[in-house]
Amino acid sequence: MKYSRMYGLVVVALCLTGCGSREEPMSPAAAGASIGHEEIVAADPGDWLTHGRDYAEQRYSPLNSIDTENVNELGLAWYFDVPTARGMEATPIVVDGRMYVTGSWSIVYALDAATGEELWRYDPEVPKSWAQYACCDVVNRGVAAWGDSIFVGTLDGYLVSLDAASGKVNWKVDTINRQPPYTITGAPRVIQGKVIIGNGGADLGVRGYVSAYDTDTGALAWRFHTVPGNPDNGFENDALAAAAETWTGEWWQHGGGGTVWDSMAYDPELDLLYIGIGNGSPWNQRLRSPRGGDNLFLSSIVALKPATGEYVWHYQTTPGDTWDFTATQHIVLADLDIGGELRKVLMQAPKNGFFYVVDRTDGSLISAEPYVAVTWASGIDKATGRPIEAPNARYVDGAFLTMPSGLGGHNWHPMSFSPETGLVYLPSQDLPAPYLEDAGFEFADGFWNTGIDFRTLESPTDPAVAAEVSKMVRGQLVAWDPVEQREVWRYQHMGPWNGGTLATAGGLVFQGSLVGEFAAFDATTGTRLWVSNAQTGVAAAPASYAVDGEQYVAVAAGWGTIFALLGGETIASLGLENRSRVLAFKRGGIAALPEPPPSNTAPMPEPPEQFANAETIAHGKALYYQRCVTCHGVDVASGGITPDLRYTRPEVHDAWDAIVLGGALRDLGMPAFDSIFDAEDSQAVQAFVIEAANRAYMRER
Ligand code: HEC
């Protein structure tokens, strides 16, 4: 069914001299091609060969047999329940009627794309204890395909090459030198026979980098660090030596951050790889680079030569990041008519709330306008490309209500671009957070290190204030005109954190939502034309492909970490479940999902009596919001991935120190805190948890 691997290499060699257009007449689908540069550039409409479908990452399917007229005929073709229900964030890759998709714990599933039948499964057996290093749960955003291989990055930092036919391991390399708290959740990309992979961990304290490995052998070809290391060790290249001029203090002690945890795009004509770089570590710049500075290349888009990893240009969206404003959000390339001139642009809606259009040949700013409510900056100075910061945006003089917050005006959920409408379809959200310096900050190795006091996130006790805040929290699908830099239409969702988007030549946009609605919208007007119920939240972006001439739209469903936002009671009240599944739709599909089991949320048991005084509870609260909140939730209300500590049973309370200090549940992803807590600290947190449980219990009565 395939060309030999050798053929792939020949294509690569030929393409080194330039493969801008498609010269090879043979259709890859017809020939059952192994995948090379030519196949990805030509992007057969029936396949979905790379993360964003093409190297430009437009997520636009030229398939048009499902359109605005007949989308109401769409029905479920098949579904595949993924056994590890901790969220799905992957875009399926589809090659010749086979789908490759990842679930939690970096497990790869190969499915028959027409029937959903499982062909093989690869489980990298990530140690469960590695979960404690994952900022945002044990998710994975998908695989890459090249030659006859499938590539996956694992949570614990390996890059694995699998035989596409059998799922057997070709090679496996350690990309992080076994150094926690590095993790990998992003999808690899393959360019000219090199697999490119980044990593995560900037919230805990690492130094970001991106690496390229030979697709055949797994040999490291190059590595580009995104922030400078200790100057005493010398800099890896001139770009980093220059970047070091923009840092102060001893930033390397805690890594500096700048992980490339998600987005990349590639322009084969310019032969430039674009990478999106993340936030600073710790978040609070005063604790990282005490005398300020831009802190390059944090929150930047950097263009590299994919053959060597050599720096070409950068554009920094947030100089001196102090808010967790990553520029790792989805990067889309397009050629746009701007002022009568066809410009080669790069588009990004990073967390900071501004939609950027940048000249991708040299990194110069074309335009930047707010796409959601923004409080931290009044605009972007077009001459310098720098934000005009609001007074106290850096929370020097007390708390500052920051919009967007670290969850972003737009997070990892991919956007899409339709060359037909000229619009970008963007899952955006308004999520305010009061930022306040954590006066008691001490760096803790292997744990979250933000330098922000998260106690400000607790629900306001004044109902009027609570109502005011909840009104500000919104999520929407927005059609954005990148030339005019304005919103054309919006569909208001029930809440934030909705799915990535897919645009199609059928004049449609597909998107899932927080509350499990998977829907099709008219790409021009925003009218919702069709909706189905996934029974669980949908965060990932859909893909479209064809088998035997039949068009399918498939999406991976399941929240993962977002459960913390909703809370278990809300999830049950919406008739939703904590589960993961892949759903595929086609016209006339007649498959049906099983009836969801009846909701069985037990009433909250009566919590133990408080044993501590107010001072101890306050100390416990400070520690909880430093060390526990990211997994167990604001207001001690967890969404189901981790136990809701307000429901803690008496026998677990009895074993509290053994769990919190002794690491009794370490193999299940619950860290041991003995390196930073003493017994008094542990009991203070327990006192605060008991206090929160009693408050909630009283409310329920
Ligand atoms: C990295 C995420 C993470 C962090 C941070 C975290 N926990 Fe946990 N915790 C977990 C997970 C996962 C479990 C469930 C393990 C299992 O499957 O039983 C858990 C379980 C527990 C349990 C047992 C609950 C029960 O009913 O079985 C307690 C108690 C607990 N955590 C307390 C804490 C406290 C206190 C903190 C902060 C000092 C904290 N945790 C921080 C992930 C975390």
**pLDDT tens digit sequence for 196-228:** 999 999 999 999 999 999 999 999 999 999 999
How many Å apart are CA 113 and CA 93, to the nearest integer? 10
Check residue 637 and give its pLDDT: 86
Check residue 565 and give its pLDDT: 56
Q: Which atom of ligand 1 is nearest to the CA of 623?
A: 38
Check residue 29 and give its pLDDT: 37
Q: Which residues contact 245 (CB under 8 A, 6 or more apart)?
A: none
Q: Is 448 a domain residue?
A: no
Q: Is 495 a domain residue?
A: yes
pLDDT band for position 33 (cuts 50, 70, 90): low
Mutate to test the pocket of ligand 1, among 104, 670, 674, 686 (most ligand atoms within 8 A of CB): 670
pLDDT band for position 630 (cuts 50, 70, 90): confident
Q: Is 460 a domain residue?
A: no
What distance in angstroms lies between residue 130's CA and the mean position of ligand 1's atoms? Answer: 14
Same structural domain for residues 629 and 507?
no
Contact call for residues 449 and 88 (beta carbons, < 8 A):
no
What distance in angstroms lies between residue 642's CA and the mean position of ligand 1's atoms? Answer: 6
Q: Which atom of ligand 1 is nearest to the CA of 628?
A: 37
Q: Is 359 a catalytic residue?
A: no
pLDDT band for position 240 (cuts 50, 70, 90): very high
Binding-site residues, ligand 1, Cβ < 6 A: 132, 627-628, 630-632, 642-643, 645, 648, 652, 656, 659-660, 665, 668-671, 673, 685
Check residue 599 and give its pLDDT: 63
Q: Is 455 a domain residue?
A: no
pLDDT band for position 68 (cuts 50, 70, 90): very high
How many Å apart are CA 415 and CA 66, to the nearest integer? 20
- Alpha carbon nearest to ligand 1 atom 3, residue: 631
Q: Is 594 a domain residue?
A: no
Over residues 364-408, the pLDDT tens digits come to: 999 999 999 999 999 999 999 999 999 999 999 999 999 999 999
Over residues 164-197, the pLDDT tens digits come to: 999 999 999 999 999 999 999 999 999 999 999 9
**First-last CA distance in the chain:** 65
* CATH classification of the domain holding 390: 2.140.10.10
List the one residue out of 479, 497, 476 whose CA is nearest residue 488: 479
Q: Which atom of ligand 1 is nearest to the CA of 448?
A: 5
What distance in angstroms lies between residue 659's CA and the mean position of ligand 1's atoms? Answer: 8
Q: What is the mean pLDDT of the chain?
A: 92
Q: Is 376 a domain residue?
A: yes
What distance in angstroms lies between residue 258's CA and the mean position of ligand 1's atoms? Answer: 28
Q: Which tokens belong to 219?
A: 């040999």
Same structural domain for residues 25 and 141?
no
Over residues 492-528, the pLDDT tens digits come to: 999 899 999 999 999 999 999 998 999 999 999 999 9
Same structural domain for residues 567 and 646?
no
Check residue 340 and give its pLDDT: 96
- Alpha carbon nearest to ligand 1 atom 32, residue: 660
Same structural domain for residues 529 and 627?
no
Check residue 1 and give its pLDDT: 29
Same structural domain for residues 530 and 632?
no
How many Å apart are CA 201 and CA 185, to the nearest integer? 10
How many Å apart are CA 278 and CA 325, to the nearest integer? 7
Which domain, by its residues, includes 634?
614-700
Check residue 566 and give its pLDDT: 59
- Alpha carbon nearest to ligand 1 atom 26, residue: 648
Check residue 467 and give its pLDDT: 86
- Alpha carbon nearest to ligand 1 atom 11, residue: 670
Same structural domain for residues 171 and 277?
yes
Check residue 20 and give its pLDDT: 35
pTM higher than 0.85 for the full model?
Answer: yes
Q: Which tokens belong to 651?
A: 């026998």
Q: Is 560 a domain residue?
A: yes
Mutate to test the pocket of ligand 1, among 623, 632, 634 (most ligand atoms within 8 A of CB): 632
How many Å apart are CA 339 and CA 319, to the nearest integer? 28
- Alpha carbon nearest to ligand 1 atom 42, residue: 670
What distance in angstroms lies between residue 129's CA and the mean position of ligand 1's atoms? Answer: 12
- The alpha carbon of residue 501 and the mean position of all alpha carbons in its chain are separated, in whole angstroms, by 14
- Alpha carbon nearest to ligand 1 atom 9, residue: 670
Does residue 596 surpass a pLDDT of 90? no
* CATH classification of the domain holding 685: 1.10.760.10
Over residues 323-351, the pLDDT tens digits come to: 999 999 999 999 999 999 999 999 999 99
What distance in angstroms lies between residue 215's CA and the mean position of ligand 1's atoms? Answer: 39
List the one residue out of 356, 328, 362 whose CA is nearest residue 344: 362
Residue among 324, 438, 644, 681 flagged as catalytic: 324
Over residues 636-675, the pLDDT tens digits come to: 988 777 888 999 999 999 999 999 999 999 998 899 999 9
Same structural domain for residues 331 and 403?
yes
What distance in angstroms lies between residue 24's CA and the mean position of ligand 1's atoms? Answer: 56
How many Å apart are CA 695 and CA 589, to the nearest integer? 49
- Alpha carbon nearest to ligand 1 atom 10, residue: 670
How many Å apart are CA 185 and CA 527, to the nearest integer? 34
Same structural domain for residues 232 and 264?
yes
Please give the single-letter amino acid code of residue 107. I
What distance in angstroms lies between residue 643's CA and the mean position of ligand 1's atoms? Answer: 7
Same structural domain for residues 352 and 292?
yes
> Max CA-CA distance within the chain?
78
Q: Is 462 a domain residue?
A: no
Over residues 272-311, the pLDDT tens digits come to: 999 999 999 999 999 999 999 999 999 999 999 999 999 9
How many Å apart are CA 331 and CA 369, to the nearest integer? 16
Q: Which residues contact 489 (CB under 8 A, 6 or more apart)?
A: 478, 479, 525, 526
Over residues 538-585, the pLDDT tens digits come to: 999 999 999 999 999 999 999 766 555 556 666 767 777 778 999 999
Same structural domain for residues 522 and 648?
no
Check residue 458 and give its pLDDT: 87
Check residue 600 and give its pLDDT: 60
Q: Which tokens belong to 602?
A: 């037990």
Q: Which atom of ligand 1 is nearest to the CA of 641?
A: 12
In the predicted model, what is the mean pLDDT of residues 256-283? 98
In the predicted model, what is the mean pLDDT of residues 136-154? 97
What distance in angstroms lies between residue 632's CA and the mean position of ligand 1's atoms? Answer: 7
Check residue 561 and give its pLDDT: 64
Same structural domain for residues 165 and 97?
yes
Same structural domain for residues 212 and 108?
yes
For CA atoms 621, 623, 625, 627, the dihedral sign is negative
- Alpha carbon nearest to ligand 1 atom 2, residue: 631
Percent of the chain with pLDDT strictly greater than 90 = 83
Please give the single-letter amino acid code of residue 229. G
Over residues 71-115, the pLDDT tens digits come to: 999 999 999 999 887 889 999 999 999 999 999 999 999 999 999
- Alpha carbon nearest to ligand 1 atom 14, residue: 642
Check residue 691 and give its pLDDT: 97
> CB 18: neighbour CB atoms within 10 A?
10
- Alpha carbon nearest to ligand 1 atom 1, residue: 132
What distance in angstroms lies between residue 448's CA and the mean position of ligand 1's atoms? Answer: 14
> What is the total count of domains within the chain?
3
